[in-house]
Amino acid sequence: MTVTETTGTGIRVEATTEARTDSCAGPPRADRRPDGEDLYTISEVAAFTGLTTHTLRWYERIGLMPHVDRSHTGQRRYRNRDLDWLDLVGKLRLTGMPVADMVRYAELVREGDHTYGERFELLKATREDVLARIAELQDTLAVLDRKIDFYADAGRALAWERTR
Amino acid sequence: MTVTETTGTGIRVEATTEARTDSCAGPPRADRRPDGEDLYTISEVAAFTGLTTHTLRWYERIGLMPHVDRSHTGQRRYRNRDLDWLDLVGKLRLTGMPVADMVRYAELVREGDHTYGERFELLKATREDVLARIAELQDTLAVLDRKIDFYADAGRALAWERTR
DNA sequence: TAGAACGTTGGAGTGCACTCCAAGCAAGCG
DNA sequence: CGCTTGCTTGGAGTGCACTCCAACGTTCTA
């Protein structure tokens, strides 16, 4: 069985062999076409995601993209679920997660439902990393603010100096 | 003139040609010796900062360290102000600031008081970057939490399934 | 005073995440 | 049809931030 989330409305249980989806997307994005007529060329996807076509092909080569459909002539035709996946990858990339770890997650998704536990653990560990990063950045922000205040004061002192 | 901050007590204006300090440190750290007897070997500094000795020498080569004192035989002898600087560099590194930009900041510090304005602007821009990074991470955290909730629910659904 | 541990240098090497290239096939348009 | 633009591939190249090396000098401990 596959458990599939339907956006914001809880979960739905259905019988299918489709183990490819990550089963959990966000709200639909504005620039997309509705499911069913969602076939995007690689350059469209590049425009949506901000990645280059090079990077999109590279992601596929290293196993970070879960097999993209092809046209009858072999060109890539991305679908909405691929954009969802790339959104997630983009988010994870922002956390500083190494590509190898994202590939690991992609493998777990490909392997099917029995990896739910491992995915769960991986996400929880990532969550902790993100919290730690945020804390670090807030620490840095405090240092920065202290220095900024200092230079603002110094600027005023120098301006005062010039009036003498 | 040089404006020097004395920790937490506002600013002090003094006549000196010393333009080397960044003029703005935080509270003293625990593992340090008091000023005056603050001479650390490169490996001590490596232990304090978590950087390798390789990296410390490399920072110096590329102009990211503002000239470290040497013993009579030419070995590096770091001082508290160097540790302060490395603390700041460590913080800026966490923000994802490229080393080249940090070198630029180091150059401004070396160039003296007339770069205060530019330093101020650089720090403010960095501050904005950090705020943006924090916002991104909080966004990512929301996505992560949504997925974690999903997998937690899915785990419960599968457990329920197994009881049938 | 021996030996281990630590320090010095310039230059070369590493790992990551892209980024580009060449040569060729595919698609849309006047 | 010809032209331009876009897509395909494997493999090579790039930029960043270290990371290591060899060959040697210094400092510390027994």
Q: Which residue has the higher pLDDT, B157 or A110?
A: A110
Confidence of residue B9 (pLDDT cuts 50, 70, 90): very low
* Cβ pair A140:B92 closer than 8 A: yes
Mutation site, A11, A91, A102, A108, interface B, largest B CB count within 10 A: A91
Shortest distance between the Cα of A23 and any Cα of chain B, in A, equals 9
- What are the distances in angstroms from CA B120 to CA A102, A157, B127, B128? 38, 14, 10, 12
**What is the CATH number assigned to the segment(s) B2-124?**
1.10.1660.10
Q: The domain A25-110: what is its CATH number?
A: 1.10.1660.10
Burial A79-117 (b: 16+ CB within 10 A, else e): bbbbbbbbbbbebbebbebeeeebebbbebbeeeeebbe
Rounded, the Å distance between the CA of A59 and C1' of D18 is 25
Quick one: chain B helix, strand, coil %, rounded to 5?
60, 10, 35
Whether nucleic acid strand C comes within 7 Å of the CB of B115, the answer is no
A143: nearest CA in chain B?
B26
C22 C1' – A68 CA distance, angstroms? 25
What CA–CA distance (Å, rounded) separates B76 from B147? Answer: 50
CA neighbours within 13 Å on the CB side: how many for A84?
20
Which nucleotides in chain C lie less than 7 Å from some protein C-beta? 6-10, 16-21, 25-27
pLDDT of A59 > 60? The answer is yes
Only one residue has tokens 């049938």, namely B164
Residue A53, classed as helix, strand or coil, is: helix
Task: Give CA separation, A53 vs A41, A71, A91, A141, B135, in Å.
Answer: 10, 17, 19, 35, 27
Instruction: Tell me the angle at which helices B42-49 and B80-94 cross, rounded to the nearest 10 degrees.
Output: 40
Q: Which among A133, A140, A150 is the nearest to B137, CB-wise?
A: A133
| Whether the predicted pLDDT of B74 surpasses 70 | yes
Distances (CA, A) of A73 to A44, A52, A76, B3: 18, 22, 9, 69
Mean pLDDT of A94-104: 94
**What CA–CA distance (Å, rounded) separates B130 from B132?**
5
- Closest nucleotide to B54's CA, by C1' atom? D19
Any idea which nucleotide's C1' is nearest the CA of B64? D17
Length of chain A, please? Answer: 164
What pLDDT sits at residue A162?
60
**Cβ-defined contact of B133 to A137 (cutoff 8 Å):** yes
**A63 CB contact with strand D at below 7 Å:** no
Which CA distances in Å does A21 have to A95, A123, B158?
22, 16, 17
pLDDT recorded at residue A111:
92
pLDDT at B88: 96
In chain A, positions 50-109 with C-beta closer than 7 Å to nucleic chain C are: 52, 54-55, 57-58, 71-75, 93, 98-100
Lowest mean per-residue pLDDT among A6-10, B132-136, B158-162: A6-10
pLDDT confidence band for B62 (50 / 70 / 90)? very high
Please state, in angstroms and as integers, the Cα–Cα distance from residue B39 to each residue in A69, A116, B73, following that order. Answer: 63, 54, 14
* Residues on chain A touching B138 (C-beta within 8 angstroms): 134
Could you read off the pLDDT of A100-123 as tens digits, one per residue? 999 999 999 999 999 999 999 999
Determine whether the interchain pair B116/A147 forms a contact, defined as Cβ–Cβ distance below 8 Å. Answer: no
pLDDT at A160: 66
Nearest CB neighbour to A154, from listed B3, B148, B151? B3
Angle at B126 between CA B123 and CA B132, to 5 degrees: 145
Residue B91, CB, strand D, below 7 Å: no
Q: How far is B106 from chain A (nearest CA, A)?
A: 14
Tokens at B121, concatenated: 């602007």
Quote the pLDDT of residue B25.
Answer: 62
A30-44, A53-67, B39-53: which range is least confident on average? A30-44
